[in-house]
Structure 1
Amino acid sequence: MLHIGYTMMTEQAGPRELVAHVVGAERAGFDFSVTSDHYFPWLGSQGHAPYAWSVLGAAAQATERIPLMTYVTCPTKRYHPAVVAQKAATMQLLSQGRFRLGLGSGENLNEHVTGDGWPAAQIRLEMLEEALEIIRALLAGESVNHHGTHFDVTNAKLWDLPDSAPPIGVAVSGDRSCELAGHYADLLIATEPKQELITAFERHGGGGKPKVAQLPICYDTDREAAIARAHDQFRWFGGGWPVNSELPCPTAFAGATQFVRPEDVAESIPCGEDVEAVVEAVRPYAEAGFTEVALIQIGGDQQEPYLRWAERKLLPALREL
């Protein structure tokens, strides 16, 4: 059965609201949740970017059942991998085993803030691989001394470790990242229903492991209002990873998407209250072999009506997939 998740979108709501939303998602019956980890929103109209790890800690205490996951954290620039390992171990303890650590090679939007430049994609993947080695070793309880190409770790050891380390997911977009995911990860993370990503992941050792995707929707009883909101806050989504990973700030995303029309957004994001439209948008992910899909409801102030609709109509329909 395909598992359906809820997204705590830190770009569109404040920290207290995000925690309240995931409590509502647990009550509505979502199978899991994911949390974005950004320093900036993509567009100024989204309006938020709280510290995801504080939100996750609060969510772990406010919920009882729903799994939590970063989607995704970059362990290379803004955060050192030794610190990410400590965060993940603590979250696994706080959540009593409900946490998964989603990792990726990052976006300029969030990682440039440390002032250390934004490396080329190939270098970012090298850094991610080295970070994965460090994080894996620390979560295994090892004392780590590491002096590599990109990172130094001196006499590091985690003193509060869970009985079971949090599963690690790696975000993929091509064969090299699929190779890293197959070798180091316990699950695959992707945003497009491309079967070739799953095939590559399995070829490199990912056979039988979960595959998690994400999909934006914009529920509203007024379809035109939903389209307008999706265009205002999510028109960046169609830019694709090669573009979105390089842009440095919300104004750059605004400029890059200034000619995207509302009808363009409506063609790629289900808008309105048509359950079948969402089912058909999710179907390609199920057919490609994804085992989990996390939905994003666009609009931080539109979560409560969405959750009521999801509980009554959407989740039962999606579970038939």
Structure 2
Amino acid sequence: MVEIGYKLACEEHGPLDLVCNARQAEDAGFAFAMISDHYHPWTNRQGQSPFVWGVIGGISQVTADLQLVTGVTCPTIRIHPGVIAQAAATAAAMMPERFILGLGSGENLNEHVFGDPWPPAPVRIQMLEEAVEVIRMLWKGGMQDHYGSFYTLENAQVFTLPEKLPPIYIASEGPISASMAARVGDGFINPGSNAEENLIIFRDSGGGDKPAYVETSVCWAETEEEGQTTAYEQWPIAANTGELNRVLPTPTHYEQVAKMVTPEDVAEHVACGPDPEAHIKKIEERIRMGFDHVCVHQIGHQQREFMEFYTNEVLPHFRE
């Protein structure tokens, strides 16, 4: 069974709006939500980046059934995995059996801010794998010590643990992380690029029938042209390829790159406008790839209108 979810984009919305949007997503019939975890937005125009763990606490109090996935948290440089273990355990205690910890190897945009070097991708993936080991060790309870290649724990104990521990899903856009996700993760997340080939690697590397989540960006608007303009202004990174979104250090750098693409370039990756068939087609493309969870990111600030549109025109198609 395929489930359709909603993206809580911390880069575009303040904390109270995100809490409100989560409640609206539950009311609209979305099965789950994914919430981004950034220190910076991608561009200054996006304008927001609240602390995700504070927002999750608010969401836990206004929703009853909505599953929530961090999409995704980097537990390697900016925040020690021991802190993420405590934060995620608290979130899971506040949202019993409906919180999932999504982890990834991060972006330079967020992780270099305290002066740490930005390692190459293979090293970042090794760091992520050890971080998962640290988190799971602390979730066992009791006093823990760890002296690894990247992380140290001394006399560390997470006292507040949920009755049932949350699963850990691993994000991947490349073959090394896809095979690692199959080995150490309880599920797979793809942000939207190299999706099909990496899902195949994940499945073939031992991922089997573990849950597989993918993001897809859309921009509902009253006209297709208006949607294309909004998508370009708010989310030009949709047109970026390769390692670019992992290595640039500041929102200003992403704005410089945006000057080299056009609204038409962005629209090639984003379903724009009010035609439900365009949105349905975008989701169905991901389902045909083999994903069983598709998270829809509505670009821009017309979230209420998007919710109404999906409730009436898009979500019923997938229930049928």
Relative to the length of structure 2, the TM-score reads 0.97
Matches within 5 A, 1:38-187: 38-187=38-187
Shift of 1:130: 0.8
Shift of 1:167: 0.7
* Inter-partner Cα distance in structure 2 for 1:99 and 1:4: 16
Shift of 1:202: 2.1
Contact 1:93 1:161 (C-alpha < 8 Å) held by counterparts: yes
Deviation digits for residues 23-75 of structure 1 (CA, Å, limit 9, x no counterpart): 00000000000100011111111111111110011101111110111000000
Letter in 2 for 1:243: L
Shift of 1:241: 4.8
Deviation digits for residues 170-225 of structure 1 (CA, Å, limit 9, x no counterpart): 01122211121111111100123633322221232211100000011000112222
Per the alignment, residue 268 of structure 1 pairs with: 269
Contact 2:173 2:195 (C-alpha < 8 Å) held by counterparts: no
Shift of 1:319: 3.7
Percent identity among equivalent residues?
Answer: 41
Question: What secondary structure does 1:114 align onto?
Answer: coil
Deviation digits for residues 114-171 of structure 1 (CA, Å, limit 9, x no counterpart): 2112111111111111101111111232532111111111121211111211110101
Quick one: structure 1 residues 2 and 193, their matched pair in 2 at CA, closer, same or farther if it must change by over 3 Å?
A: farther
Shift of 1:277: 0.7
Name which of structure 1's ranges 142-151 and 59-68 shifts more when overlaid on structure 2.
142-151
Contact 2:238 2:269 (C-alpha < 8 Å) held by counterparts: no
* Inter-partner Cα distance in structure 2 for 1:156 and 1:204: 33
Letter in 2 for 1:292: H
Shift of 1:77: 0.8
Question: What secondary structure does 2:296 align onto?
Answer: strand
Q: Does residue 9 in structure 1 map to residue 38 in structure 2?
A: no
Quick one: structure 1 residues 193 and 278, their matched pair in 2 at CA, closer, same or farther if it must change by over 3 Å?
A: farther
Q: RMSD of the alignment, in Å?
A: 1.3
Contact 1:193 1:288 (C-alpha < 8 Å) held by counterparts: no
Shift of 1:285: 1.3
Contact 1:134 1:144 (C-alpha < 8 Å) held by counterparts: no
Per the alignment, residue 222 of structure 1 pairs with: 223
Contact 2:33 2:69 (C-alpha < 8 Å) held by counterparts: yes
Contact 1:44 1:251 (C-alpha < 8 Å) held by counterparts: yes
Question: What secondary structure does 1:154 align onto?
Answer: strand
Contact 1:82 1:134 (C-alpha < 8 Å) held by counterparts: yes
Question: What secondary structure does 2:182 align onto?
Answer: helix
Per the alignment, residue 212 of structure 1 pairs with: 213
* Inter-partner Cα distance in structure 1 for 2:200 and 2:148: 31
Name which of structure 1's ranges 147-156 and 27-36 shifts more when overlaid on structure 2.
147-156
Long gaps (5+) in structure 1: none
* Inter-partner Cα distance in structure 1 for 2:233 and 2:318: 27
* Inter-partner Cα distance in structure 1 for 2:185 and 2:156: 22
Letter in 2 for 1:314: V
Question: What secondary structure does 1:101 align onto?
Answer: strand
Contact 2:239 2:261 (C-alpha < 8 Å) held by counterparts: no
* Inter-partner Cα distance in structure 1 for 2:226 and 2:238: 18
Name which of structure 1's ranges 46-55 and 198-207 shifts more when overlaid on structure 2.
198-207
Contact 1:38 1:49 (C-alpha < 8 Å) held by counterparts: yes
* Inter-partner Cα distance in structure 2 for 1:265 and 1:173: 19
Contact 2:6 2:32 (C-alpha < 8 Å) held by counterparts: yes
Letter in 1 for 2:186: D
Contact 2:173 2:194 (C-alpha < 8 Å) held by counterparts: no
* Inter-partner Cα distance in structure 2 for 1:224 and 1:265: 12
Question: What secondary structure does 1:141 align onto?
Answer: coil
Q: How many residues align?
A: 319
* Inter-partner Cα distance in structure 2 for 1:94 and 1:237: 33
Name which of structure 1's ranges 10-19 and 189-198 shifts more when overlaid on structure 2.
189-198
Per the alignment, residue 244 of structure 2 pairs with: 243
Letter in 1 for 2:283: V
Contact 1:76 1:128 (C-alpha < 8 Å) held by counterparts: yes
Shift of 1:97: 1.9
Long gaps (5+) in structure 2: none
* Inter-partner Cα distance in structure 1 for 2:222 and 2:154: 56
Q: Does residue 303 in structure 1 map to residue 268 in structure 2?
A: no
